Amino acid sequence: MSDPTVRPGPGSASDRARAMARREAPDAQSEASAERDDTLAGAVDRPAVVLIGPPGSGKSSVGAAIARATGLALRDTDNDIEQMAGKSIPDIFTQDGEPHFRDLERTAVRRALGEHRGVLALGGGAILAPETRAILAGAPVVFLSLSMSTGVRRTGLASNRPLLAGLNPRATYKALLDARLPLYREIARHEVETDNLSVAEVARIIIEKLELA
Beta strands (DSSP E) in the chain are: 49-52, 74-76, 119-121, 141-145, 190-193
**In which order are the strands placed within the sheet that holds 119-121?**
74-76, 119-121, 49-52, 141-145, 190-193
Binding residues for Mg(2+): 60
Q: Provide, for the chain, the percentages of residues in helix, strand and coil under a 3-state DSSP scheme, each rounded to the nearest 5.
A: 60, 10, 30
β-pairing verdict for 49-52 and 119-121? parallel
Residue numbering of the annotated binding site for ATP: 56-61, 161
Q: Can you tell me the distance from the alpha carbon of 154 to that of 63, in angstroms, rounded to the nearest whole number?
A: 17
* Residues that constitute the known binding site: 56-61, 78, 102, 124, 161, 180
Instruction: Report CA Rg, the chain.
Output: 26
Distance of CA 117 to the CA centre of its chain: 11
98-115 helix and 89-96 helix, angle to the nearest 10 degrees: 140
Question: Is 62 within 8 Å of 120 (Cβ atoms)?
Answer: no
Nearest Cα to Cα of residue 124 among 184, 207, 191: 184
Element of type H or E holding 11: none
- Which segments are annotated as binding site for substrate? 78, 102, 124, 180
Helix (H, G, I), strand (E, B) or coil at 129: coil
